Amino acid sequence: MTDSASPAVPAYRLIKEHVMAQIQRGVWREGEAIPTEESLAREFGVSRMTASRAIRELADQQVVERIQGSGTYVAQQKYQATLVELRNIADEIAARGHRHHSELQLLERVSASEALARRFRISSGDVLFHSIVVHFENDEPIQVEDRYVNPRIAPEYLAQDFSTQTPNAYLMRVAPLAGVEFSIEAGPPPERFAELLHMKPQEPCLVLNRQTQSMGQVASVAAMWHPASRYRFSGRI
């Protein structure tokens, strides 16, 4: 206890903040080496383990890059890449302080077309479940969720009440999520979806396609259709 009234900021955090500040101010530039664990430990009067933890966490955050035997370097700002978080529609609407509700349009058992069978890695003609749900923000339709589900993963899918629980929430609950593939594109909606979304003629949709895996199989393939004039994906880092 050397310092009195320590404001309960752990030493490893102080070191992290110090290093990030030096980088942010441009004192240590991209690709340059930063001080060793040893010397940071001395400078801050802590053990090497503590300095090590600080720098390791910065490496996890890709702020620096470590090369064993060589040193620690300020990472290339490959932040050419922007990280985006796509939330589910109910949470997103709630976060805006608006009301969300959803209406089930269709819930059926189908046999897989060629294209669907390929995406699910099953045989053409095998059974799939299919649902169409419309999501509303303050009573205005904002998303049509067109979803196919693998019966081997969620055999009770057709028996759910999708006005009280979204398909997404149900699937999360019954199937541990092991992987996701997605794409975002723009295009014209099927006529039926355009009507459900109260869209103007010729207006394009912003579409999020999402395919989830669970227990080694494709669990679900979904397309979320949004009217381009009333919806965008957004976020910050």
Partner DNA sequence: GAGTGGTCTAGACCACAAT
Partner DNA sequence: TTGTGGTCTAGACCACTCC
Taking CB within 5 to 8 Å according to partner kind, which of DNA, a second copy, none is near residue 172? a second copy
Does residue 82 bind a second copy (CB under 8 A)? yes
In angstroms, give the least distance from the CB of 101 to a second copy. Answer: 17
Does residue 45 bind a second copy (CB under 8 A)? no
Q: Is 177 in contact with 215 (CB distance < 8 Å)? A: no
User: CA–CA separation, 226 vs 191, rounded Å?
Assistant: 13
In angstroms, give the least distance from the CB of 65 to DNA. Answer: 9
* Distant-in-sequence contacts of 45-54, Cβ < 8 A, 24+ apart: 45/2, 46/11, 46/12, 46/15, 50/11, 50/12, 50/15, 51/12, 51/15, 53/12, 54/11, 54/12, 54/13, 54/15, 54/16, 54/19
What is the identity of the amino acid at 32?
E
Q: Is 92 in contact with 51 (CB distance < 8 Å)? A: no
Does residue 60 bind a second copy (CB under 8 A)? yes
**Residue selected from 28, 72, 88, 142 as contacting DNA according to rule CB under 7 A:** 72
Of 8-37, binders to DNA (CB under 7 A) are 8, 10-13, 36-37
Does residue 68 bind DNA (CB under 7 A)? yes
User: CA–CA separation, 226 vs 92, rounded Å?
Assistant: 14
- 3-state SS class at 61: coil
User: CA–CA separation, 223 vs 225, rounded Å?
Assistant: 6
**Residue selected from 19, 23, 46, 63 as contacting DNA according to rule CB under 7 A:** 46
The values of phi and psi at residue 162, to 5°, are: -90, 15
Taking CB within 5 to 8 Å according to partner kind, which of DNA, a second copy, none is near residue 190? none
**Residue selected from 62, 182, 195, 198 as contacting a second copy according to rule CB under 8 A:** 182
Does residue 58 bind DNA (CB under 7 A)? no
How many other CB atoms are there within 10 angstroms of residue 127's CB atom? 12
Of 117-156, binders to a second copy (CB under 8 A) are none
Nearer to a second copy, 110 or 184 (CB): 184
Residues within the interface to a second copy (CB under 8 A): 23-26, 30, 60, 77, 79-88, 90-91, 168-169, 172-173, 176-187, 202, 204-206, 208, 210, 228-229, 231-237
- Contact residues toward DNA (CB under 7 A) are 1, 8, 10-13, 36-38, 45-50, 52-53, 55-56, 59, 66-72
